[in-house]
A = this chain, B = another copy of it.
């Protein structure tokens, strides 16, 4: 995993950043709620139902981020015509999709 200097170029999700932060805050709250369910001995199935809801929210968020990334970073690389940069971007997004599919 390489860290990228984001000082020079906006990231793919820039225009939707607040929306993503808000959804992540909600997911954080859902996970905290699940922890409390466990601490107060909530029935297993009810705990698992909430975990499935978090999975779903994370999948939807991932798909949004992948789409934004393609719309900006991948398309920009493609437009630049820089073959090495294009290859790197596609390999990177492909590895990411592979991790999400698992």
Which residues of A are interface residues toward B (Cβ below 8 A)? 1-4, 6, 10-14, 17, 20-21, 24-25, 27-28, 31-32, 34-35, 38-49, 51-52, 54-56, 58-59, 61-63, 65-71, 73-75, 77-79, 81, 86-87, 90-94, 96-102
- A36 to chain B: closest CB distance in Å? 9
Q: Which residues of B contact A2 (CB under 8 A)?
A: 46
Interface of A: prevailing SS: helix
Bound CA span A17–B43, Å = 12
Cross-interface CB contact of A67 among B31, B61, B94, cutoff 8 Å: B94
Given A66-B48, A74-B78, A102-B102, A17 contacting B1 (CB threshold 8 A): no
